[in-house]
Amino acid sequence: MKSKVIKMYDYHDYDLPKVIYIEGVKEQVEKEKHHLLRPYKTKQPVEVVAESDLVVMNLTSEYPKFNKKNIPVNVGKGLFDKKLEAKIVGQKVGESVDITVEVTTDEGSKEVPVMVEIVSGHRMVYPELTDEMVAAGMADSENPEIKTVEAYNTYIYDKTFDAIGGEKIGDLVWDLMCYTVEHSEFELDEEELNQAFEDYMADAYAEAEEEGWDLENMSEDEFRMISDGFNNLQEYKDNAKVEIAAMIKRCAIEGVLRGEDYSEKSLDEMADNLWEIIADYVEHHVDVQEANA
């Protein structure tokens, strides 16, 4: 590796937060429990509409979207119309109610009157979790040893907390790694950069040939579909050059931090594991806590 670090930013000087707070743990835990309880759920009729209920409605309006019969709506999901759904929460099944809903037309926004008849409604009801349900639900999982509600609650909370917290820590690691690279100085070898770019594009052309793609003559829509959003080959090449330069810089910093001489190694021998070094530092200096716990 011919490129090298001239002056490295000391990532220990970066102002890391002492604590990061995460949200959504309890909600995700409940979703996981409902997944386990799915075989035991029952459908029960409702008298008053609440969020997550499935209702069937007759809508009468001069506005076509709200002039429909026997339309099923999962209340609160926003799949039909979030504003209308919010206005029927608390309404009684079997009754009609006059409401107004804001719509957007070519002339701008306006309120349109809608008569809503709630024909029927039901909700899915989940029973209390039992040891027997846990044992049955976890029997074919990666953790069949979990057989009690207490053990499952601990397992699913820890798993969810680690997943959400890990994502937040990952964002912080990425920010610190990019900051370290951006605030360091390098002497990049042009020959090395060009060779890495040529190798990268050779692999891209080889994959395209295998898939039957003509990279040079694709439409923008076709190119976006196969390239994670790039409009054309030139955009793809420009981005590749930026990414390759960033990779070489990461490898050069990694060599300094590990105290290794990378001058005799080729880029193919470099692991690009600066992430591991930064992640270890962040994980030891940042505490993850649940917000409003």
- Nearest alpha-carbon partner for 14 in 238, 177, 124: 177
Residue span(s) of the chain under CATH 3.10.50.40 come to: 42-125
Residue pointed to by tokens 């790039």: 230
- The one-digit pLDDT tens for each residue of the chain (293 residues) are 889 999 999 999 999 999 999 999 999 999 999 999 999 999 999 999 999 999 999 999 999 999 999 999 999 999 999 999 999 999 999 999 999 998 887 778 889 999 999 999 999 999 999 999 999 999 999 999 999 999 999 999 999 999 999 999 999 999 999 999 999 999 999 999 999 999 999 999 999 999 999 999 999 999 999 998 999 999 999 999 999 999 999 999 998 898 877 777 777 777 678 999 999 999 999 999 999 86
pLDDT score recorded for residue 120: 96
Phi, psi of 55 (to 5 degrees): -120, 155
Asked whether the CA dihedral 136, 142, 147, 150 is positive or negative, the reply is negative
Whether the Cβ atoms of residue 247 and residue 268 lie closer than 8 Å to each other? no
What does the alpha-carbon distance between residue 138 and residue 129 come to, in Å, rounded to a whole number? 13
Alpha-carbon distances of 225 from 32, 217, 241, 242, rounded to whole Å: 33, 14, 21, 21
Cα atoms found within 13 Å of the Cα of residue 73, Cβ hemisphere only: 32
Phi, psi of 51 (to 5 degrees): -60, 145
pLDDT score recorded for residue 263: 77
Which residue type does 260 have? E
Phi, psi of 144 (to 5 degrees): -65, -10
pLDDT score recorded for residue 108: 80
Residue pointed to by tokens 């079997």: 94
CATH class of the domain whose range is 42-125: alpha beta
Whether the Cβ atoms of residue 126 and residue 40 lie closer than 8 Å to each other? yes
- Nearest alpha-carbon partner for 50 in 73, 22, 81: 73
- Model's pTM, two decimal places? 0.73
pLDDT score recorded for residue 293: 64
**DSSP codes of every residue in 59-73:** EE-SSGGG--SSEEE
**DSSP codes of every residue in 250-279:** HHHHHHHHHT---TTS-GGG----HHHHHH
Which residue type does 274 have? L
pLDDT score recorded for residue 271: 67
